[in-house]
């Protein structure tokens, strides 16, 4: 499967614990995005990378959230001291930069987080 992959697919944790999610984008894609989706809503932008550089972070991304893409390939999203309000589907998407114009973002299957 050469699509975007995410691990784990499901995560149940207790409030106050830290969690980390991984995203592996399509191999030639240099842009990687993280979105959060709650039930009945559209995905909300969290942050994005061009290669290894994190270029924008949403106001939704509190200081408990941190994302990295150390070698410009896979990315991790860590949530520290989780809260019940963090329960959501975390989606990763990737795209290829062509001539500095927007290109199609391909989504991974998501990681569903439940904070008890």
Partner 1 sequence: GENVEQHPSTLSVQEGDSAVIKCTYSDSASNYFPWYKQELGKRPQLIIDIRSNVGEKKDQRIAVTLNKTAKHFSLHITETQPEDSAVYFCAASIRGTYKYIFGTGTRLKVLA
- Contact footprint for partner 1 (CB under 8 A): 4, 31, 33, 35, 40-45, 48, 55-56, 91, 95, 101-110
- Cα gap 14→27, rounded to integer Å: 34
Least CB distance to partner 1 at residue 84 (A): 22
Q: Which is nearer to partner 1, 80 or 109 (CB)?
A: 109
Q: Which is nearer to partner 1, 6 or 82 (CB)?
A: 6
Pairing of strands 10-13, 111-115: parallel
Least CB distance to partner 1 at residue 15 (A): 25
Nearest to 33 by CA among 49, 22, 44, 18: 49
- Cα gap 34→75, rounded to integer Å: 9
Q: Which is nearer to partner 1, 57 or 80 (CB)?
A: 57
Least CB distance to partner 1 at residue 88 (A): 14
């Amino acid at each position: 499967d050469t699509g975007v992959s995410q691990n784990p697919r499901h995560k149940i944790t207790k409030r106050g614990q830290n969690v980390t999610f991984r995203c592996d984008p399509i191999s030639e894609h240099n842009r990687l995005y993280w979105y959060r989706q709650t039930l009945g809503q559209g995905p909300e932008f969290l942050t994005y990378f061009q290669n290894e550089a994190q270029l924008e972070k949403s106001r939704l991304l509190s200081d408990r959230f941190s994302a990295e893409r150390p070698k410009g390939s896979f990315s991790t999203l860590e949530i520290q001291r989780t809260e019940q309000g963090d329960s959501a589907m975390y989606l990763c998407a990737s795209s290829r930069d062509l001539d500095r114009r927007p290109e199609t973002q391909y989504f991974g299957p998501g990681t569903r987080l439940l904070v008890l």
